[in-house]
Structure formats: C-alpha cells, structure tokens
Amino acid sequence: MLEEIKNIDKKYYMNTFGDRLPVCFERGDGIKLYADDGRIFYDFLGGIAVNSLGHSHPKFIERLKEQLDKLIHTSSLYYIENQAKLAQKLSESTCADKVFFANSGAEANEGAFKLAKIYFHKQNKDKYEIITLDKSFHGRTLATVAATGQPKYQKPYKPLTPGFIQVPPNDFLAVESAITDKTAAIMIELIQGESGVHLMDRDYVKKLRKLCDEKGIVLIFDEVQTGMGRTGYLFAHQMYGVEPDIFTAAKALGGGIPIGALCAKDWIASAFEPGDHGTTFGGNPFATAAGLAVFDIYEEESLVQNAKYMGEYFKRKLFDIKAKHDSVTDVRCAGLLIGIEVNTNISKDVFNALFNKGFLTSLCGGNTIRIAPPLIISEKDIDMFAEELDIILTEREKQ
C-alpha cells in the first residue's frame, strides 16, 4: 500500500517535500499513530505542535461531529456564533482586545503586517518597515518569506517583498541600530522553533517592549508555535511577562483543524475598518467550533498545567541524558517545546534511529531534535522516549 501511495504522490503531487519519511498513517489514538502496514508510532512531534489533544480525542471528535451535523460554512457575510465566542475566549484569556480569524499561521502573520502598516497609513505616516530576526520562521507566503530570517527560504523568490529587515536574535543594540523613521513594527518569535528551539532572553524581550513604547513602534509576537499551552503557559508572552500589541496564533488552536488568529490591543485593532481586510473561510463555524472545543478540553483536563509539569519532567530526564552523553551538546526547553542538540556528525542518524524505533520527532537547525508532543503526554510516555534515546546515543557513540 505504501509503495502505491508513493507512486501516486510522485505522479500527481507537486514535489515540495521531496522523499518523505517512509510511512503512511491511517488512524491515531492518543499519542499513538498506526501505519497502514501495522507499525505503531509514538507522536512526539504532534503534527508539528498542532495535535495538542493527541489523536482522536473522544470529546474533541464528538464536538466536531456535532458541528458537522449543524453547519460547516456560511462566509463572513453573516454573523457566526462560534466565531464570536472563540474571539471572546481568546480575548478574555490574553492581553488581546480584538481577534480576526484566518486559515493558517502564515495568514495570521500577513494580517499582523497589514494591521501594523495600515495603522500608520491612516495617520498619514510613512512607516512601513518591519524588523524581524535572523533564523526566524514566519510562513511560506511571499510576505512571510521576506520576514523569515533564513536565506534558504528567501533566495528563490527574489526580489522579496520590500520593507523587511533582519537582525541577529537577542541582540538589542542591533535592533536599536536598525530602527529608522520608517520603522512600523518589530516582530519576533519568543522561541524560534524551526531553527532549533532557541529562546529569547527575558531581559531582551522586556527591552524591546520599552523601546517600542518609547519610539511609537508596534511590537508583534509570532506565537503560531508557542501558543495554546505549548510552553506551559497559554501563550509564551505570559511566561515572559511582556504584553505585545499584536500576537498571532494557529497550529494547536484548532487541534488539527486549520485555523489562525490575529489578536491585538484595541488601539491598533481599530485601524482595520470595513473593507480593509477579509477572508472567505477564516473563522467559519466548523473551524471555530474546533477552537472552542480545544479551549474547553484544556480547562476540563488542565492541559496547560500538564504541559508545564510534563515539560519540567522531560527536561530533567533530558539533562540526565546530556550529563551521560558527550554527543548531546545542549538541551533547550520551554514546557513541551524542546530542542535536543546533538553532534552534527550523528544528528541525522539519531533522528532516523528514533523514527525506526517508532518515535516521531523532527530534525531542525541542522543538528537539533525537536520535540513538541501532544499536551496529554504522561510520565510513562516520556520515560519510554528517554530510555530509547539513551540506548540510541550509546550505540552511536560506540561506532
């Protein structure tokens, strides 16, 4: 069956992913995924930080089925109860006053750029530059590629959308030096996931907030990966104790159903007036029903708190492994967003060995194993992973 699927994929699907990992899943249960050939895998990547409830969560599936029986899509020409209630839930749980729903993190980030620019446009101010960070990742659209601080993603699409300037992360002087009279916003990921789970320094983030206040610049946090409990806080900016003017969300917000959110303080959100922005699918009844279900299950099962506790437990296990293995050069953690940096000469082997043993992770930043499991994960699951990683590292170090 797998070979047949691979052949169909090769013939009909655009080759943007190359040769994928050799598996095709047909069903899931909790953190387990079942392949069509009978193999069982443990999902320690969560669909890249998406499946926060795991797979086939019974309460989640029940809520989705209920909504499917009622209504899937109407368009934003009409009021949508779920859309309004999910916007209320996000606003009341964060520093945001207003919310706009899109279909993905990239779309939410595009909305953030537009909102920052139109805010100054409506004041007749020629401010359009947006400062982002090297090694960042903000999406695959033309504007988000220009914002992404990685030349490998930008090179094929030059000339890039103008107005985006990259500076090194955690370098406050570099940000200060990059500011001009055209600077509209500074946008950062509090934790750079795609480049290897690199955290911004708390003092750096606080200085950025103060700088933006002093210079009249909009501060934007891309929380597409770090939002919805991933770090042990509902959003990572709550962990840092710094409120942005705008932040974005996606991934875990829909528990696997595509949805993105642009969240903002009222003073800047009001820059969007009728006709300035829009969407056909964004925030439809089905997607926002998924978001509401995610929030309810988080509260019922204390999953944000579980992410914090299990993140600390995982961290201790991994630091024990690091102390035992010289090939582990660093462990970086924020709740259940974890990077295990391994010597470059064995990192691909370790990643492949984990896959072959039935553990799904990702290899990012060249030599970092990224972990972003469902928030339902248990100590038993973590023990199982840590034990296997220890064995794999021991075997590779002997070679």
Residues with catalytic annotation?
Answer: 137, 222, 251
Rounded Cα gap, residues 358 and 193, in angstroms: 22
User: What's the maximum distance between 2 C-alpha atoms anywhere in the chain?
Assistant: 66
Sign, CA torsion 316/297/193/381: positive
Would you call 371 helix, strand, or coil by DSSP?
A: strand
Q: Bridge-partner residues for 41, per DSSP? A: 33
Contact 308, 233 (CB under 8 A): yes
Rounded Cα gap, residues 89 and 123, in angstroms: 31
Rounded Cα gap, residues 167 and 382, in angstroms: 36
Contact 262, 99 (CB under 8 A): yes
DSSP secondary structure letter of residue 135:
T
- Number of other CB atoms surrounding residue 302 within 10 Å: 12
Rounded Cα gap, residues 357 and 337, in angstroms: 21
